[in-house]
Amino acid sequence: MLFFRNVAMASVAEAAAGLFAFCFTLMAARFLGVESYGLFQALMGLYGLLSFFILPLNLATVHCIGKAAPDIKIALVRRFLMISLYSSGIIALVIALGSPWVSRWLHAPAVLPVILAGVLVLTTTLLKVFYGFLQGELRFSTFSYSKVFQGIMTFILGGAFILAGWSVSGALAGYIGSMSILCLYFFFKLRIPNASGKSADLEIKKEIRSLSKIFFIFMVLLFIEHAPAVLARIRLNREESGLFGALYNFRNVIWPFALAVTIPFYSQSISDEHREKNLIQKSLLVIGLLGGGFLAAGRFFPHQIFSILYGKEFGPAGNYFFQYGISLTLQMILMVVLFHQLACRRIRIKQLYLPVFILSVCLWIFGDTIPGLILSQVTACAVYLALLLGDEAVARIRDI
């Protein structure tokens, strides 16, 4: 029952951290208003699009740490930190240089919020490497405490910055500040500067060879999740972009639980020592229960939820809550299947061009309304999931 214990521990921590993070976004909604909140969530969508390599890097860290000999694990963390620093640093620099144009596209009043979105990519990348180390070591208690601390500090710092009059920039600075504190703690706690080991380089090179497929897969997955949020700010009026931003923000409720299931699932799927039977069925069961509860809330209490949580001006977003819940549920199921195929190394890259094409066409045709954005997302998720399940069915038939 190690799987369910790890899931329970991670879920409690993710729930607590997610609660603080979600409360922070609700506070931001009330202080920023509909229009500025739309900009805030559009920048979070841009950050999500630019973070396509972060989760693959986290998974690579989990995989390497889980398989490596104890004497080279700290050296491995150091190598992954260098990779993350270079890659995310380049992205942050490009965003800073292009901030005048991006700010105009997103109707931002200044370039600073756009620059901070790039900095957020940098801090998130570094922190995900440290989290990958804890997850690969199956140290889910330390990982859980860290996630809770991150959520609390984001709420405190972000709230203080917003109240100080920093508006959208303050909201983003709250995330950056909490992650920076944890990065510094882990950096000195693990004594990273003293780490060394030539064998670590060999492990990194082996893992990097498999990362190209993983990077592409998560580019597709994150494009499906975040592109509609950015496009909403560009093509919808500012009030509608704020309403869609409120819908998009509910991923902060769903994704922590989804990751709390899929990361232990992936860690144990690749571990010879802790592997259990029927992990995929157990994961889908937990995801199904979570998605069902979310859909029930969206069916029976949509307007009340938005009016109470965000404020009355966000109430019209409830008209689209159930439809967006379908999209999030499909994304959670897709995530579990994707992690399963990553563990089994059954990914076929050529098949993944179709979901990107379908989403792009749908967004081009239907992306000027909130229902059209959701429809595009649901269609892309369904196609992507169908492709992965098709591969899984073929693999099972061959095994018979």
Query: Are the beta carbons of 317 and 369 closer than 8 angstroms?
Result: no
Q: What is the distance between the terminal CA atoms of the chain, rounded to a whole angstrom?
A: 28
In the chain, where the domains are located = 2-399
pLDDT band at 3 (very low <50, low <70, confident <90, very high): low
Rounded Cα–Cα distance for residues 37 and 29 (Å): 6
- Measure the CA angle with vertex 168, ends 164 and 173; round to 5°: 70
At position 238, the amino acid (one-letter code) is R
Rounded Cα–Cα distance for residues 330 and 287 (Å): 10
Residue 200 reports pLDDT greater than 70? no
Calculate what percentage of the chain has a pLDDT beyond 90: 41
Q: Which residue has the higher pLDDT, 173 or 1?
A: 173
| Least trusted range by pLDDT, from 58-62, 121-125, 272-276, 307-311 | 272-276
Write down the mean pLDDT value for the chain: 83
The CA–CA distances, whole Å, from 342 to 77, 265, 388, 395 equal: 21, 11, 11, 13
Q: Please give the sequence-ordered ranges of beta strands (E in DSSP) within 71-195, or none if there are none.
A: none
Most confident of the ranges 13-27, 89-103, 135-149: 89-103
Predicted pLDDT at 97: 96
Whole-prediction pTM value? 0.85
Predicted pLDDT at 195: 45
At position 276, the amino acid (one-letter code) is E
136-194 pLDDT, tens per residue? 887 777 888 888 899 899 999 999 999 999 999 999 999 999 999 999 999 887 765 44
Query: Are the beta carbons of 227 and 364 closer than 8 angstroms?
Result: no
Rounded Cα–Cα distance for residues 354 and 379 (Å): 11
Query: Are the beta carbons of 63 and 198 closer than 8 angstroms?
Result: no
Most confident of the ranges 10-19, 183-192, 250-259, 325-334: 325-334
Rounded Cα–Cα distance for residues 120 and 127 (Å): 11
| Least trusted range by pLDDT, from 211-225, 338-352, 381-395 | 338-352
Predicted pLDDT at 275: 54
User: In this structure, what is the dihedral angle of CA atoms 36, 38, 39, 44, given to the nearest 10 degrees?
Assistant: 130
